[in-house]
Structure 1
């Protein structure tokens, strides 16, 4: 748990966040490598995740001691460690990320001379600085907002000609090639660009030439504004939507913005509703609980599911606008006092709700899993059936993740 600034109550921070720690998000930059610069205790979770999710060959750690911090050796040790890493690599990474912790903010470190010295020695390597500073959640940019912003701030300042490309900003996971979003773009001759789907550094550089940026999560708005200011790239929000009317409106706005043909929205909607209703009939009286880590819009998801015949019992999340008196809205504050026995006839959509209720049927979703619109709803229906056929508690999901 962590303390919540708004009311002082503890807020539950689930230990399993889909495996997306700050290092893994930063490594969305293709052909990059990270030097994590922090006390060893801070690096522990990064190292464990790097082993678990198989990116350990792209992560190095400079473990700081108290002597390093108080003696003033910190800045030079960073340069020496970065050069030592690069000396041992052939070929060199296209980007070296110096990832610093909150200690760096307290010391007032000057990164400009560090990155410049490293790039002077290794001109083929772009050296950038990212910051892990949890204290900013109560002042300034949230850590995820700052991370997305700084990842794209490291792009070269030079503008490039605009291409028939739409870039996805603000989400860790690239949209599935079969998603309605990608299919609409590619059918009109546009390239759907997400750096996580590429292993070529040139695709990171190609973000500068996008005709349009889609802000896929609120965390990406600052990055989109930066890209618009630098390269003149317009952007539009394209958050994961579950309300059918909102999906229609968003796709229509996208097609109007790019002046491309509209797909058959009526047919897409009929197919989605048919699949959802069939799934609801198949699971019968099984109830659903949803949390705001699984999706940013749990109430919107609830309404669509209920309209198609599902039974939603509870939503977990703070600042959730619940417009239905028969729905129990559970807070992620003081979870011990709010734990309920889910029973076997409940499916938890999200790890937080599963943990709170001890659910035996869990759908492991983290911020919509990068799935939007009709594709996201159909994929969720598939996962609901999978949860019934192969029940897993949140503990089972975590154990499987470390195998």
Structure 2
């Protein structure tokens, strides 16, 4: 018999994972602006952990559980596990569509994870169909028999578990795992390209300064009228957001947000107005630009898109492959925090998908070994019990370190910093 201390530990881990899952996924849903996926996962995870914890009424000993409760616990575990798999499969379809087949419009997180009617298939149809197959087969075989375990399950024959979490869920798990792996590889490659491009733009001012010095030495510049100085304070945030005819060139950081704003110190660098050469016409009050021997217009090409002037810099269009920004006015600095925190959210979501599908493989491992070795009784404590706890604690492990989520969770630190400031 399994020691009661082990049952108490597993009961505590399972029960405490319920509030942790709700807190983290609620904050995560608020950060990305999409609630259906995180909330559905919380519901099915609560159902899974809750029916498991109810076994403590009978000391988590299936031999003491009534037959009706034993059957109900088995089928609810199967349904909740398959439903959680369906939610992760819907996540996979959403993120893979955005990463591998991006559209011309850069989507936001809420648009990336917007509800689609096609998600009814993995979330509703699949678990109900699997349950409709498992119930009559297992009841007709009288497969649900109490043995030494932490919860009731199909035991005679052991392969009856393949109709639940250990087998039929692989219909979604296997293809979605490979889709998530391909999407993760794509995100990692785009992330590397963006880092290289950002390093190139950081080193740009030094090379441009050397070029200006060389041109000044080669060609003597005649005196010209003084040019108005440009300073970021002269152009407030609202002016960038509302003025459709503004000719001030915005640096390419708006076109190239970082994947992780908290771990990359370069993402917090202030925007320097000397990073790129300025056009001569900076104010509509100037009737004509002053003559200059340096053909600055040869280094700058204006492209009007939808009535807005933007610099045509040689930057690879990689940001369209990730849901970086959901705003149409990219020159407004007040949206930069949202755009920079969006890519790590998608990255963590892909990691969570892959982790969940690995947990699914872990849940099936003990059953596969028991069937392959022709055991008469299933393993009392198997990998499915470890997978059960990981389903509840997985969101906290993966999303708890996301900057947008961590700032909300450690709210007392913000209060202390505001008081000290």
Q: Is this a same-fold pair by TM over 0.5?
A: no
Higher strand share: 1
TM-score by length of 1: 0.25
**Greater relative CO, 1 or 2 (CA 8 Å, sep 6+):** 2
Structure number with the higher helix fraction is 2
Select the structure of larger CA radius of gyration. 2
TM-score norm. by structure 2 comes to 0.25
